[in-house]
Chains A and B, each alone.
Chain A
């Protein structure tokens, strides 16, 4: 039983947390792809940027000396999301919109997004150096432990407050996005444009407005994801750069352009990663006495060594690209 709880703490909670981050990022990537038809490579750095915006705001708020029951980094997230959305709009206006106006191919926009990636990275490191920052210098990070009322169970289910907040805000974001896309006029316009941009134009849908809304949503979600990731782990300039590939993997897994697919893809990858590095021998140990003599439980019985954790997503990505480039959830939604 204790081992099961260990499994739950390690694999399930880890998978949900990682999956939430991936899902939030992948939704942005997939929306941008659906509307503007290019792979926005700078998305990972928009996440990092969002994390730093929150960090600066949190610093300001902490300076005011007010005590909050929640992490300050979380309290300031709505404001940071607003700023990040504005920045996303600015980046589009400054770097992508002129290329679109010229009728540039999506590949050109992809290369431009590499340029944007480099600029954001350069700027962040210019101002913040290459060090690691923590949101919890002025506040303790709360750990939740839930003791289970069973006999013989000593190990509690445990997770941190940022992890709980991450999952809650992911749920809120996903539900809000769902209502936006299916109920609101603009959200439907967005789906229409992703479905058939020419017909959307013919219907009189204000495509420029839709593009702006897309950037606002993508920027805000990227900021949310970046901040929550930073709260859970720590804030580094290359925080999300390593994560941009798994995010693309998630978006492709779900079928580029499909919002729900991206969310599902994010969770699939999150679980795949944590389960792949999980040491399964832990779960075998209780059956030690029932196993045949010759079978000796190895100390580590994980599918891949933890050094290769990140590559799990890439391998899945490459396999999906080769076997089914339209994504595994095609036709399911959006």
Chain B
């Protein structure tokens, strides 16, 4: 047994002990909830690991993927809104679609005007004008459709399909988004890519937040169904409140763990196979790999899409579990940066590192608040004993402590353990 194996075992045993400890301190219902979310975040961190760890691709737009995944599951699994389907809404949307198609055709031809002898600056101008006209056509259809739907049916509602289908659709939609983002921005240098992805994610966030007819925007959608029995169903069958929560969340947890394990198994096999080898070759020596005739951009796009799919599924799981889709609740810190902390601390390039980091950091994140609160309470008691008065607003301040803790953790990790707790295993002979 080599030192690395020992480290793996030690890390996961320590994690297990931590979870048991949390369970004893905070109660089972809380712990199971924590674990569901932790595993969902681990899945997301594994997605980032594919992009950054395997592919060396920077993604600061994780938030966008989670939002897309969350939207997908909401749309698929939320009950059908009959009022919308009975109204003229679908007709309006059909017209908008038609407008978009016309715009797309315009833009398509604008890109081809050189056939008609218009080149250089002239072509650029034609393209800009075409975009502008397409935008005007789109807005002229979209705006009335949006206001009609919001004023009559409220919003379009869902499709009432199974939740698991919604998670899968979350993956598909996020993958599609990843493909688009990758297609336009993967040629950029790492820091430009970071800014571009965060920019695109912010655009997405603003759009989803303001598309009231589609996402209900700030009005939020709830309750979003679960793939397993909810506590309410258990209660209706005679379980008491605590047990119902533990049972229901336990069922949810089982589903999520199975998904994470399947993902881990598949990714790890791919990582050890020729696909993973090629990607590592590209990451470590971009130029040499390109000159050896490998399709660098194609591979990178593939990686970006795969990672995005996992992020989308993770985002969908989170929304189902919380039961509410609130586009304004997405924050760069809670939904992008924390994933980076997970991966850096866990060990970029290592699937188990991502899994470990995801679960571990999420627990630290969730525990920072009660711990900080306890600390502040103690300090407050001390300072009021000393006659300096108590610390005001302890509860709201304690929430902020965890952001600080995360920042501290990642800077310390970068400085003292830049490879993470479970570093990537470099196989010399492959």
Question: Interface residues, chain A, CB within 8 Å of chain B?
Answer: 38-39, 95, 98-99, 102, 104, 106-108, 110-112, 114-123, 125-126, 129-130, 241, 245, 248-249, 252, 305, 307-308, 310-311, 314-315, 317-318, 321-322, 325
Task: Tell me the smallest distance from the CB of B295 to a CB of chain A, in Å.
Answer: 21
- Decide yes or no whether B105 CB sits under 8 A from chain A: no
* A118 interface neighbour in B199, B203, B337, Cβ under 8 Å: B337
Min CB–CB distance B121 → chain A (angstroms): 14
B199 touches A114 (CB 8 A): no
Q: Would A108 and B203 count as touching, CB distance under 8 A? A: no
- Cβ contacts under 8 Å, B190 to chain A: 106-107, 110
A249 to B344, CA, bound (A): 27
- At the interface, yes or no: B298 with Cβ under 8 Å from chain A? no
1/0 contact string of B187-222 vs chain A (CB within 8 Å)? 011111011101110110011011000000000000
* Chain A neighbourhood of B407, CB < 8 A: 114-122
Q: Taking the nearest CB of chain B, how far is it from the CB of A105, in angstroms?
A: 8
Asked if B410 lies at the interface with its beta carbon under 8 angstroms from chain A, I say yes
| B428: Cβ under 8 A from any A Cβ | no
User: B366 at interface (Cβ–Cβ under 8 A)?
Assistant: no
With both beta carbons as reference points, the residue of chain B lying nearest to A125 in the complex is identified as B400
Set of chain B residues within 8 Å of A107, measured between Cβ atoms = 58, 190-191, 194
A123 to B191, CA, bound (A): 26
User: What residues of chain A lie closer than 8 Å to B409, measured between beta carbons?
Assistant: 115
Are A38 and B396 CB-contacts (below 8 A) given A116-B407, A117-B407, A314-B202?
no
Q: How far is the CA of A311 from the CA of B209 in the complex (A)?
A: 12
Task: Give the distance in Å from the alpha carbon of A128 to the alpha carbon of B198 in the complex.
Answer: 27
Interface locus among B148-156, B283-291, B318-326, B411-419: B411-419
> Which chain A residue has the least Cβ–Cβ distance from B184?
A322
In the assembled complex, B393 has its CB within 8 A of some CB on chain A: yes
Chain B residues 157-200 with CB under 8 Å of chain A are 184-185, 188-192, 194-196, 198-200
| A–B pairs, 12, beta carbons within 8 Å | A38-B191, A108-B418, A114-B410, A122-B401, A125-B397, A126-B397, A249-B195, A252-B195, A307-B209, A308-B206, A310-B202, A317-B195
For the A-B complex, the count of residue pairs with Cβ-Cβ distances under 8 Å equals 134
**B405 in the interface (beta carbon within 8 A):** yes
Q: How far is it, in angstroms, between the C-alpha of A162 and the C-alpha of B402 when the chains are bound?
A: 35
Query: Does chain A have a CB within 8 A of B126?
Result: no
Determine which of B196, B396, B415 lies in contact with A318 in the assembled complex, contact meaning CB atoms within 8 Å. Answer: B196
Contact A315 B403 (CB under 8 A): no
Question: How many residues in B have their beta carbons less than 8 Å from beta carbons of A?
Answer: 44
A315 to B199, CA, bound (A): 8
What is the 8 Å Cβ interface bit string for chain B, positions 260-282, against chain A (1 contact, 0 not)? Answer: 00000000000000000000000
Given the known inter-chain contacts A107-B58, A117-B407, A126-B400, please indicate yes or no for A99 contacting B198, CB distance below 8 A.
Answer: no
Chain A residues within an 8 Å CB radius of B202? 245, 310-311, 314
A120 to B192, CA, bound (A): 23
Extra 10 A-B pairs, beta carbons < 8 Å, given A130-B396, A321-B185, A321-B199: A39-B191, A99-B414, A99-B415, A107-B190, A126-B397, A241-B332, A307-B206, A311-B202, A318-B196, A318-B199
The interface bits of chain B over 91-129 (1 if a CB of A lies within 8 angstroms of the residue's CB, else 0) are 000000000000000000000000000000000000000
Residue of A whose beta carbon sits closest to that of B332: A241
User: In the complex, what residues of A have CB within 8 A of residue B191's CB?
Assistant: 38-39, 106-107, 110
- Nearest CB to that of A251 among chain B residues? B195
> Is B404 on the interface with A (CB-CB < 8 A)?
yes
* Chain B, Cβ-Cβ closest to A238: B331
Cβ contact within 8 Å between B210 and A123 = no
Q: Chain A's nearest CB lies how many Å from the CB of B389?
A: 15
A119 touches B210 (CB 8 A): no
Assess the B400–A314 pair: CB atoms within 8 A.
no
CA distance A129 to B396 in the complex (A): 7
Name A318's closest neighbour in chain B (CB-CB).
B199
Q: From residue B71, how far is it (CB to closest CB) to chain A in Å?
A: 17
Contact, CB under 8 Å: B414 / A122? no
**Interface presence of B408 (CB below 8 A):** yes
* Cβ A118 vs Cβ B333 within 8 A: yes
- The one of B333, B340, B404 in contact with A126, judged by C-beta atoms closer than 8 angstroms, is B404
B412 to A, closest residue via Cβ: A115
Tell yes or no: B406 within 8 A of A by CB. Answer: yes
Instruction: Verify B340–A114 contact, CB threshold 8 A.
Output: yes
- Chain B 373-407, CB within 8 Å of chain A: the 1/0 string? 00000000000000000000100110011111111
| Cα distance A111–B414 in the bound complex, in angstroms | 8
Are A119 and B404 in contact, CB atoms less than 8 angstroms apart? yes
Q: How far is the CA of A305 from the CA of B372 in the complex (A)?
A: 42
User: Contacts of A121 on B, CB cut-off 8 Å?
Assistant: 333, 400, 403-404, 407
**Bound form: Cα–Cα A315–B200 in Å:** 8
Interface string of B334-345 (1 = CB under 8 A from A): 000100110010
For A112, the closest partner residue in chain B by CB is B414
The complex places the Cα of A180 from the Cα of B188 at a distance, in Å, of 33
Question: Contact between A325 and B337 (Cβ–Cβ < 8 Å)?
Answer: no
Q: Is the CB of B401 within 8 A of A39?
A: no
Report Cα–Cα, A107/B195, bound state, in Å.
12
Give the residue of B192, B332, B341, B393 whose beta carbon is less than 8 angstroms from that of A321.
B192
Cα distance A318–B204 in the bound complex, in angstroms: 13
Alpha-carbon distance between A325 and B408 when the two chains are bound, in angstroms = 33
Pick from A102, A111, A125, A252: contact of B192, CB below 8 A.
Answer: A252
Distance between Cα atoms of A38 and B191 in the complex (Å): 7
Q: When A314-B200, A321-B195 are in contact, do A305 and B210 touch as well, CB less than 8 Å?
A: yes
A125 / chain B contacts, CB cutoff of 8 Å: 397, 400, 403
CB-CB < 8 A to B206: which residues of A?
A: 307-308, 310-311
Q: Which of B199, B337, B341, B410 contacts A314 (CB 8 A)?
A: B199
Query: CA separation between A208 and B207, bound complex, in Å?
Result: 44
A44 nearest CB across to chain B (Å): 11
Contacts of B406 in A (CB 8 A): 115, 118, 122
- A315 contacts B203, CB within 8 Å? yes
Q: A107-B58, A122-B402, A126-B404 are in contact. Are A245 and B195 (CB under 8 A)?
A: yes
- Residues in A neighbouring B209, C-beta threshold 8 A: 307
Cα separation A44 to B332 with both chains bound (whole Å): 13
Contacts of B198 in A (CB 8 A): 245
Q: Within the complex, what minimum Cβ distance (angstroms) separates B297 from chain A?
A: 14
Which residues of chain B are near A38, meaning CB under 8 Å? 191
Inter-chain contact A307/B210, CB cutoff 8 Å = yes
- Chain B residues in 8 Å Cβ range of A252: 192, 195
User: How long is the Cα–Cα vector from A58 to B400 in the complex, in angstroms?
Assistant: 25
Closest A-B pairs by Cβ, 9 of them: A122-B404, A118-B407, A119-B407, A125-B400, A122-B403, A115-B411, A115-B410, A39-B191, A314-B199
Is A111 touching B344 in the complex (CB atoms < 8 A)? yes
